[in-house]
Amino acid sequence: MEQKVIRDDHPRGRSGWRPRRVNLTSEHLSIKPSDFDYLKIIGKGSFGKVLLARHRETTKYYAVKVLQKKIILKKKEQKHIMAERSVLMKNIKHPFLVGLHYSFQTTDKLYFVLDYVNGGELFYHLQRERVFLEPRARFYAAEIASALGYLHSLHIVYRDLKPENILLDSQGHIVLTDFGLCKEGLDPSGTTSTFCGTPEYLAPEVLQKQAYDRTVDWWCLGSVLYEMLYGLPPFYSRNTAEMYNNILHNAPVLKPNISNSGRELLEGLLQKERSKRLGAKDDFLELKYHSFFSPINWDDLMAKKITPPFAPSVSGPTDLRHFDPEFTHLPVSASLCGDSVMVTSSVKEAAGAFPGFSYGPPADHSFM
């Protein structure tokens, strides 16, 4: 499912912004794998699994991402994992970004304890319904845009927006997840040049291996909005070379089944020249005040006072109908509950490779 090209040799910058949180060392952090009951596998990635877990003491449900250190080290991905942790810690309370409760490690594994969201991936719902009507697509695009604008305000570029990374909560609101490809420390005029992302959604400047800026996220939003309205990404082809050629040279085909303001927004977001792209001057504000979003009251949107156009039918936290059975039918391994390895020299190397990974909120916020 993952089609990521990842390579990043640049040191991560600092935005100067500091969350009011307490970063605890593993010595002070008493949380451990056996504090949870692991109920089901709900996702898989390159480095490990995501599980539905229940905290034994509070009985609250969380999504626990369990990553194998040796695979991360083998693929030289430590930097991306630590960047993901850093970005998660900066999201104190944005309504449309997944929240981190704890991170901790054992000798051979890393654990992220995250908000549990069980309305399914946008990808799943789009596959089932093929296209969304414009008001529904507008609602999702508005919530996604506000989340991206917030990340940009923290000098973070997301870089991997796609329907698989966009979840729905049980009410039908957007939750953006998976911050592994985020770039930190990129100020409004800053650029980077790492070639990364997912083929269908790559911006032309990334594909050409040119310097790019935060407007890559607005290109990706244009691609996702197009897919919601038309059923496929704008330049899609089964032939990757042909798809890349489409991205670089062809205009997106805008059929007449959407409003003029919708067409205008897509043309602005899918502008191949990044300096002319919608969002190049004033970032999120350019989208916020675009006529396509005129039906949206942004204050109500942020306060979740707008009723979502679609509510996933879920009976409770253990209702997994919106997760892929390919994952939920897999057996949960007992090895997830702690260290299960012989301590070899390579394991010792892995054990010390992620200093400062463990995190917990202040004691009075513990498992709130």
pLDDT above 60: residue 28? no
Can you tell me the distance from the alpha carbon of 269 to that of 287, in angstroms, rounded to the nearest whole number? 9
Q: What is the mean pLDDT of residues 204-208?
A: 97
Domain shared by 169 and 82, yes or no:
no
Does any domain span residue 23? no
150-164, 234-248, 334-348: least confidently modelled range: 334-348
Does any domain span residue 170? yes
Domain shared by 81 and 196, yes or no:
no
All residues at 6 or more sequence positions from 263 whose CB lies less than 8 Å from its CB, including other chains: 254
Q: Which residue has the higher pLDDT, 4 or 32?
A: 32
Q: 160 catalytic, yes or no?
A: yes
Domain shared by 153 and 273, yes or no:
yes
Which of the residues 8, 108, 160, 213 is marked catalytic? 160
Domain shared by 349 and 236, yes or no:
no
Does any domain span residue 26? no
Q: Which amino acid is at 36?
A: F
pLDDT above 90: residue 92? no
Domain shared by 202 and 350, yes or no:
no
Residue 83's domain comprises 33-118+316-357
Domain shared by 86 and 161, yes or no:
no
Q: Is 310 helix (H, G, I), strand (E, B) or coil?
A: coil
pLDDT above 90: residue 340? no
> What angle do the packed helices 215-230 and 260-269 form, to 10 degrees?
140
Domain shared by 152 and 236, yes or no:
yes
Q: Is 17 helix (H, G, I), strand (E, B) or coil?
A: coil
The CATH number covering residue 169 comes to: 1.10.510.10
Can you tell me the distance from the alpha carbon of 205 to that of 208, in angstroms, rounded to the nearest whole number? 5
Does any domain span residue 362? no
DSSP string across 213-282 = -THHHHHHHHHHHHHHHHSS-TT--SSHHHHHHHHHHPPPP--TTS-HHHHHHHHHHT-SSGGGSTTTTT
pLDDT digits (tens, 9 = 90+) for 288-310: 999 999 999 999 999 999 999 99
What is the β-pairing status of strands 109-114 and 100-105? antiparallel
| pLDDT-derived band at 79, boundaries 50, 70, 90 | confident
Domain shared by 205 and 290, yes or no:
yes
Q: Is 55 helix (H, G, I), strand (E, B) or coil?
A: strand
Q: In 3D, which of 218, 230, 205, 233 has the Cα closest to residue 269? A: 218
Domain shared by 238 and 107, yes or no:
no
The CATH number covering residue 48 comes to: 3.30.200.20
> How many folded domains does the chain comprise?
2
**Distances in Å between the alpha carbon of 11 and those of 347, 355, 358?**
26, 17, 21
Domain shared by 150 and 170, yes or no:
yes
Q: Is the pTM of this model over 0.85?
A: yes
All residues at 6 or more sequence positions from 18 whose CB lies less than 8 Å from its CB, including other chains: none
Domain shared by 259 and 145, yes or no:
yes
In this structure, are residues 72 and 78 in contact, taking their beta carbons and an 8 Å threshold?
yes
Does any domain span residue 5? no
Does any domain span residue 343? yes
Domain shared by 158 and 248, yes or no:
yes
pLDDT above 80: residue 268? yes
Does any domain span residue 169? yes
In this structure, are residues 179 and 12 in contact, taking their beta carbons and an 8 Å threshold?
no
162-166, 201-205, 337-341, 357-361: least confidently modelled range: 337-341
5-14, 33-42, 134-143, 226-235: least confidently modelled range: 5-14
Consult the annotation and say whether 304 binds a ligand: no
| pLDDT-derived band at 93, boundaries 50, 70, 90 | confident
In this structure, are residues 203 and 209 in contact, taking their beta carbons and an 8 Å threshold?
no
Radius of gyration, alpha carbons of the chain: 20
